[in-house]
Amino acid sequence: MFDSVLVANRGEIAVRVFRTLRRLGVRSVAVHTAADAGSRHVREADEALLVPSYLDIEAVTGAARAAGARAVHPGYGFLAENTAFARACADAGLVFIGPPAEAIEAMGDKIRAKRTVAAAGVPVVPGRDEAGLSDGELRAAALEVGLPVLLKPSAGGGGKGMRLVRDAADLPDAIASARREARSSFGDDTILVERFVENPRHIEIQVFADAHGNAVHLGERECSLQRRHQKIVEEAPSPLLDAAARERMGAAAVAAARAVGYTGAGTVEYIVSADRPDEFFFMEMNTRLQVEHPVTELVTGLDLVELQLRVAAGGRLPFAQDDVRLDGHAIEARVYAEDPARGFLPTGGRVLALDEPDVRVDSGLDVGTEVGGSYDPMLAKVIVHGADRAEALHRLDRALAAYTLLGVPTNVAFLRALLRHPDVASGEIDTGLVERALDELTRDLTGAASVPPEVLAAAALERMHALERAGDDPWTIPDGWRPGAHAWTRWIITPAGGEPVEVRVQGRASSARVRVGDGEPVEAFLHGTTLTHAGRTITFAAARDGDTLWLGREGRAWALAEHVAAEGGAAAAGAGDGVLRSPMPGTVLAVKAAEGDEVAEGQALVVVEAMKMEHTVTAPLAGVVAKLPVRAGAQVALDAVLAVIEEA
């Protein structure tokens, strides 16, 4: 076993690898950028070294040598599937905890990978995968394969650059968009085309191989719950497969690994028709540890990071295929820094409060962590195990209800809604389910109904209570006191991204009548963070950031700004309809108009990118571009003005 290992990554995966290193008594070394100097993964390592970038191969290998590390664990993302990095480690005398560079190279190119596994007898999706296809050849190939088709970058993964095309008229724009995102994400705009399998399920097999000729699979993971090709919830085993199907798919995955001389942990991903579960097709092989590896660990009882370390150190797999047993059911939910109420746009901020449930949580977060837009938006993973699938689903829902993160908007409430969907409960899922049910899943997260009246009442009473504590002079407290009685004090509470709501309070925070909007007055009082409202008592998590109060409960969080309304005053009007604002902090990728241009309603004007996700901002009305203060490459903040349109 190694005596010292550098982890060439950050966030939750670095923290997770450190956990195994500590258990094995192996010294851990972290790398970090200047912005991450105070991060949790830096504090949990035995030693940490500064690098200019997590993608700087020379700096990372240099840090490993300087720290005396014998091996490098790449985690996932960044340099994990970078052939040049694997070779640079070998050149520096470091053991790369992953497969040989040749295996990464073979499976990293989707075109070559399909041909390699097909030669080994693994079924592949019908399509065209010649390198160097022009746009015109791609269009012809798509029509030849037969619509609908899936356009996929040859390099990379994670759903980036993938486009589903059902109409031939959409092919030119889809090809151009797929190439642009592939080039931005992977530095390679080679695109292949595959037949799209209707009602598809995404099922993957975990494989492990050592350098002594042993190779096994550890069962499957169901990863069909996705949005925009990005996994949200994963589970093991799949509710679709029986033992015979599992063995066929597992044997094919092992054959694929053997075909490229694989060692270490790898995942073979299949697409399976929900209508024909006996038919499966190879999609790709991920030559690294997967984000969703914890569900396999919980049903097999194995530590996959420990296995990676032992295999990389030259050891043999300590078990054979017949020794692998799957016990119970495990489910994982990914917590993302995104706002479901605003179309899942990436979010950011500082973690003001964090309370994680008493289950396995893989996280790189801590109170004070700054979440920005430079990296993948995944913050943490909540993982549970149950005797069967129903028990695991229930435990995950309760764990998410107990998950509190204030300061950064997340998708936790959306995850709970997804887990309660009837098709998820029954196991009748496919990769299109989330998109089809999106309106239903986000119904309670958008609009006026997204902030319950008791939340607004708690915000107004909290502000009253703060002023009461701070005010020595009772005449300065805006409680509306008049001789003989209390008058109504009017508060304006504005939820982030929502409309202002008037909340009237009569009395003090410890004993008041509260009226929210046009509702009826109810008796309410606040004690600490516990609110009694109309006879119902509930407790919130709370944190303040300047003028914004964050409240959270049951997996939900609300950012609320409050102020006392002047007599006869009203909330300020919003910006005019012709002002286009950035929906997220990020980088301007493209500007598709110029000042003075006439534009139609709905015309694409600016493309903004954050966390490798593009968002196209369109003209809200027909008119003339009066102002266009941004240019391609510019950094923009949330709600920054991108353009101003004046009606013609």
Cis amide bond preceding 237, omega within 30: yes
Does residue 290 form part of some domain?
yes
pTM equals: 0.81
639 phi-psi bin (left φ>0, alpha ψ -120 to 50, beta other): left
- The Cα 562–Cα 502 span in angstroms is 10
CB atoms within 10 A of CB 412: 24
User: Of 195, 229, 247, which residue sits at a domain end?
Assistant: 195
* CA 292 to each of CA 110, 210, 330: distance values in angstroms, whole numbers, following the listed order: 21, 21, 11
Backbone angles phi, psi at 176, to 5 degrees: -65, -45
Interatomic CA distance for residues 63 and 151, integer angstroms: 39
What is the CA 425 to chain-centroid distance, rounded? Answer: 22
DSSP 8-state class, residue 570:
-
Mean pLDDT of 378-395: 98
Q: Would you say residue 571 lies in a domain?
A: no
DSSP class per residue in 176-187: HHHHHHHHHHHS
| 240, two tokens | 């679709």
Higher pLDDT, 636 or 351: 351
Please give the Cα distance from 576 to 184 (Å, whole number).
34
- The confidence score (pLDDT) of residue 569 equals 32
Q: Can you read off the two tokens belonging to residue 565?
A: 């309304």
Lowest model confidence (mean pLDDT) among 191-205, 214-228, 234-248, 462-476: 462-476
For residues 308 and 289, the answer to whether their CB atoms sit within 8 Å is: yes
Instruction: Report whether 36 contacts 42 (CB < 8 A).
Output: yes
Same domain for 519 and 482?
yes
- Residue 546: pLDDT band (50, 70, 90) is confident
Residue 439 and residue 300 share a domain? yes
Note whether residue 111 is domain-resident: no
Closest by CA to 45, choosing from 5, 79, 78, is: 5
Which of the listed residues 166, 195, 224 is the one where a domain comes to its end? 195
**The pLDDT value given to residue 611:** 58
- HSE-up of residue 453 (Cα within 13 Å, Cβ side): 19
Please indicate, yes or no, whether residues 415 and 490 belong to a single structural domain of this protein: no
DSSP string, 31-72: EE-GGGTT-HHHHHSSEEEE-S-TT-HHHHHHHHHHHT-SEE
| 473 plus 545 within the same structural domain | yes
Supply the range of the domain harboring residue 548: 449-564
Helix or strand or coil: residue 617?
strand
Distance in angstroms (rounded) separating the CA atoms of residues 498 and 446: 8
What whole-number distance in Å separates Cα of residue 457 and Cα of residue 66? Answer: 57
The number of folded domains in the chain is 5
DSSP secondary-structure letter at 224?
Answer: E
Domain boundary among 538, 564, 590: 564
* Of 503, 506, 510, 431, nearest in space to 465 by CA: 510
Q: What percent of the chain has pLDDT over 70?
A: 94
Q: Which of 112-116, 130-134, 248-252, 506-510 has the highest mean pLDDT?
A: 248-252
**pLDDT confidence band for 571 (50 / 70 / 90):** very low
Q: Are residues 420 and 305 in the same domain?
A: yes
Residue 508 burial (CB count, 10 A): 18
Do 73 and 8 touch, CB atoms closer than 8 A? yes
Model confidence at 648: pLDDT above 50: yes
Task: Decide: 16 and 289 in contact? Cβ < 8 Å.
Answer: no
Strands (E), 322-377: 329-336, 338-339, 345-346, 349-350, 353-355, 360-363, 370-371
Q: What pLDDT, on the 0 to 100 scale, is given for residue 612?
A: 55
Q: Is 321 helix (H, G, I), strand (E, B) or coil?
A: helix
- For the residues 341-357, what does the mean pLDDT come to? 93
pLDDT at 484 over 70: no
Same domain, 456 and 518: yes
Q: What is the mean pLDDT of the chain?
A: 91
Angstrom CA distances, 51 to 67, 128, 209, stand at 13, 41, 32
In a shared domain, residues 354 and 268: yes
113 domain residue, yes or no: no
Specify if 380 maps to a domain. Answer: yes
Judged against a pLDDT cut of 60, whether residue 100 lies above it is answered with: yes
Question: Is residue 574 a part of any domain in this protein?
Answer: no
Output the domain CATH number for residue 180: 3.30.1490.20
Side chain identity at residue 648, one-letter code: A
Give yes or no for a contact between 305 and 98, defined as CB atoms under 8 angstroms apart: no
Return the amino acid letter for 485: A
* Helices (H), ranges, 301-388: 304-312
Residues 555 and 603 in one domain: no
Backbone phi, psi, residue 223, to 5°: -125, 35
Instruction: Determine how many CB atoms are found less than 10 A away from the CB of residue 82.
Output: 18
Q: Does residue 116 fall inside a structural domain?
A: no
Work out the angle between the directed axes of helices 83-91 and 101-108 (0-180°, nearest 10).
Answer: 170
- H, E, C per residue of 452-516: CHHHHHHHHHHHHHHHHHHCCCHHHCCCCEECCEECEEEEEEEECCCCCEEEEEEEECCEEEEEE
What are the structure tokens assigned to 116, written together?
């390699």
Please indicate, yes or no, if residue 587 is contained in any of the structural domains. yes
| Cα–Cα dist 609/139, whole Å | 26
Helix (H, G, I), strand (E, B) or coil at 279: strand
Residue 32 φ then ψ, to 5°: -155, 155
Query: Are 410 and 471 contained in the same domain?
Result: no
Same domain, residue pair 83 and 168:
no
CATH number for the domain spanning 29: value is: 3.40.50.20
pLDDT of residue 479: 54
- The Cβ-side half-sphere exposure at 255, using a 13 Å CA radius, reads 16
Between residues 648 and 61, the one the model is more confident about: 61
pLDDT tens readout for residues 415-461: 999 999 999 999 999 999 999 999 999 998 987 678 999 999 999 99
User: How does DSSP classify residue 316?
Assistant: P
User: Quick check: 272 and 200 in contact, CB under 8 A?
Assistant: yes
Q: Is the pLDDT of residue 274 over 60?
A: yes
List pLDDT tens digits, range 488-524. 888 888 888 778 899 999 998 899 999 999 999 999 9
Q: How many CB atoms lie within 10 A of CB 589?
A: 17
- Distance between CA atoms of 417 and 426, rounded to whole angstroms? 15
Token pair, residue 576, equals: 């005019």
Task: Say yes or no: 400 and 519 in one domain.
Answer: no
CB 51 within 8 A of CB 35: no
CATH code at position 510: 3.30.700.30
Are 135 and 156 contained in the same domain? yes
What letter would DSSP give residue 309?
Answer: H
CATH number, domain of 216, equals 3.30.470.20
